[in-house]
Structure 1
Amino acid sequence: MQTYLEDVVKTPQSVNPLLNTLGVKIVELSDKKAIFSLKVCENLAQGAGNLAGGILATIADEAMAHVLLKALDGHKQIVTTNLNVSFLRAVRQGLITCEAIVLKKGRSVAFVEAKIYNDEKELISTATATFHISQIK
C-alpha cells in the first residue's frame, strides 16, 4: 500500500485508472488532508449540462479514502461502508477542488469528511463517509 500511495501522487500516475479516466489530479496528499481537483468538461455532464452528481460523489469518496490511507500509513486496507453526499450548487464549467480530512479514526472504523468547491471558492457539495479498516492480508 505504501508503494501505491507514493505512486498515485506522481505525474503521470498509472496506479489508479479511475482517477485517470475522470481526469482527477491529486494536488496534496498528507495524513492531515487530501486535495483533489477536476476540470469540469462536457463528458462528465448529465442531461441538463451540469456536472453529474455521481462524479462529485466519486471524487469525494476517492479523496476521503486516500487521506485515510495516508493517515493509516499504508499498513491497512479500507472499504467505504457508508457515503452521504449533499449537492448544494450546480456546476457546469471550471475547476472543482475537493478537500478531505479524517474526523475520527478508530481500530476498525473511521469517519471522514469532504468539501467540494468551484473555482470561485463556493461550496458546491459536502460528503461524509464511514470506512471499515482491516489488516492487509
Structure 2
Amino acid sequence: MAKMTVEEIERFMDASVPQARSFGWVLERVGDMSARVRLPVVREHLRPGDTASGPTLFALVDTAMYFAVLSEIGPQALALTTNCNINFLRRAKEGDVIADAKLLKLGQRLAVGEVFVRRAEDDAVIAHATLTYSIPPA
C-alpha cells in the first residue's frame, strides 16, 4: 500500500514546492510503485515548430518519478534526482500528454525507475526516460 495518496502528495507539493502547480500537471494516480501524471501541453510549453520543449518533457518525467518515489517513501522533500536520461521518440504538440512512472528498484538510499510519456490523443510513446533518485536518510 502506498505511503502517500494523490491528495496527500498534492498537499505536500502545495506546502513544499508551491511553484510546481503553475506548471499545470494533474496527478491522476499513485500506487504499486508507480504514478501517472497528465500535462495539458499549452502554448507556453512549446518551442519553435509548435513542439513541446525538451525542458517541458524533462519537468514532466521528473515530476512523475518524484510522485512515484513519494508514494512509497512518504513526504521527503529532500529526495532528489541524481540522474535522468531521456530519449525523445516522437513529436508532442499542444494537447494532453501522460507520463507513467514506474519504480524498478527502491532501496534505502536510491530509487531507480522509468517513465513513458504518451500523447493522450493516440497513445503514441513520445519519450522514454530512466531516472535515479537519491533518498535522504530517515
Identify the TM-score tier after normalising by the shorter chain. Answer: 0.7 to 0.9
Contact 2:36 2:100 (C-alpha < 8 Å) held by counterparts: yes
Which structure 2 residues correspond to residues 97-136 of structure 1 after superposition, within 5 A?
97-119=98-120, 120-136=122-138
CA distance in structure 1 between the partners assigned to 2:10 and 2:136 by the alignment: 23
Contact 1:86 1:127 (C-alpha < 8 Å) held by counterparts: yes
Q: Residues 65-107 of structure 1: CA distance to partner in whole angstroms, max 9, x if unpaired?
A: 1111211234684111101111001111221000001101112
| Partner of residue 22, structure 2 | 21
Of 26-35 and 82-91, the range deviating more from structure 2: 26-35
What secondary structure is seen at the aligned counterpart in 2 of 1:56?
helix
| Partner of residue 46, structure 2 | 45
What secondary structure is seen at the aligned counterpart in 1 of 2:63?
helix
What secondary structure is seen at the aligned counterpart in 1 of 2:14?
coil
Which amino acid in the other structure matches residue 14 of structure 2? S
What secondary structure is seen at the aligned counterpart in 2 of 1:65?
helix
| Partner of residue 86, structure 2 | 85
CA distance in structure 2 between the partners assigned to 1:93 and 1:118 by the alignment: 10
CA distance in structure 1 between the partners assigned to 2:76 and 2:62 by the alignment: 19
| Partner of residue 35, structure 2 | 34
Measured on the aligned residues, the alpha-carbon RMSD in Å equals 2.4
| Sequence identity percentage | 24
CA distance in structure 2 between the partners assigned to 1:84 and 1:96 by the alignment: 19
Contact 1:76 1:133 (C-alpha < 8 Å) held by counterparts: no
**Structure 1 portions without partners, runs of 5+:** none
CA distance in structure 1 between the partners assigned to 2:9 and 2:111 by the alignment: 22
Deviation for aligned residue 1:39: 1.0
CA distance in structure 2 between the partners assigned to 1:42 and 1:75 by the alignment: 32
How many residues are aligned here?
A: 133
Contact 1:76 1:135 (C-alpha < 8 Å) held by counterparts: no
